[in-house]
């Protein structure tokens, strides 16, 4: 008789490596489009191992998103420390244009344009991404409020309006990249968006 197949997490399971291999699958195919078969093939594990390690596809996705957001190569996490709000926005937009069009990985952004619409059973994943996008706008709003108080922005500037404008530019860059726009084309959008800076 054949020995029973092992269940759960395989010996020597490397969680970080598994997340790194799942990331491009989700980035290329989206949450709904990435099947368990796609994910296990990329991660080199069995379906029971995936559920044993992560509990569900949604929890795997959330861990992948956390890993994506923590990548030091992405501009957004550190750009807010720039000395001016204008410089912070420039770094974020230029970094987004570079990242979204990089041929080393699937185009676009895993957060900006991910799971905008979905089947009812996938709404928890969509809600998590809505919250992440909202947090980006909130961080921009906070930075712009400070810039207004410090006199960098003209009196009467609406920090919320400005934050939503540049948040929309980030999302638009992702859509354009998904539709095939390269770095040069995205940078034209960035330059136009920076020309709209108040004052």
The pLDDT tens digits for 115-166 are: 666 667 767 777 877 888 888 899 999 999 999 999 999 999 999 999 999 9
Q: Mean pLDDT across the stretch 69-89?
A: 81
> Could you tell me if 22 and 39 are in contact, meaning their C-beta atoms sit under 8 angstroms apart?
yes
Q: What is the pLDDT of residue 193?
A: 98
Q: What is the pLDDT of residue 116?
A: 63
Report the distance separating Cα 49 and Cα 137, nearest Å. 37
Residue 45 has pLDDT above 60, yes or no: yes
Residue 32 has pLDDT above 60, yes or no: yes
Q: Taking all residues of the chain, what is their mean pLDDT, rounded to a whole number?
A: 87
Q: Which of 186, 176, 170 is nearest to 88 (CA)?
A: 170
3-state class (DSSP) for residue 8: coil
pTM value > 0.95: no
Compute the C-alpha angle 82/84/89, nearest 5°.
75
């Amino acid at each position: 008789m054949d020995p029973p197949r092992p269940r759960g997490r395989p010996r020597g399971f490397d969680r970080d490596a598994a997340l790194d291999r799942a990331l491009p699958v989700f980035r290329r195919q989206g949450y709904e489009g990435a099947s368990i078969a796609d994910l296990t093939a990329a991660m080199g594990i069995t379906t029971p191992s995936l559920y044993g390690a992560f509990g569900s596809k949604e929890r795997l996705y959330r861990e992948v998103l956390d890993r994506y957001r923590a990548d030091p190569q992405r501009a957004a996490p550190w750009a807010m420390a720039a000395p001016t709000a204008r410089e912070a926005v420039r770094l974020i937009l230029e970094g987004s244009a570079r990242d979204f069009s990089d041929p080393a990985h699937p185009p676009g952004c895993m957060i900006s344009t991910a799971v905008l619409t979905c089947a009812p059973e996938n709404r928890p994943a969509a809600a998590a991404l809505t919250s992440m996008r909202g947090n980006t706008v909130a961080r921009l709003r906070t930075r712009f409020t400070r810039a207004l108080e410090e006199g960098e922005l003209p009196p009467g500037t609406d920090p919320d309006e400005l934050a939503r404008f540049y948040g929309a530019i980030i999302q638009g860059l992702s859509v354009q990249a998904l539709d095939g726009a390269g770095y040069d084309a995205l940078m034209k959008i960035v330059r136009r968006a920076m020309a709209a800076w108040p004052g």
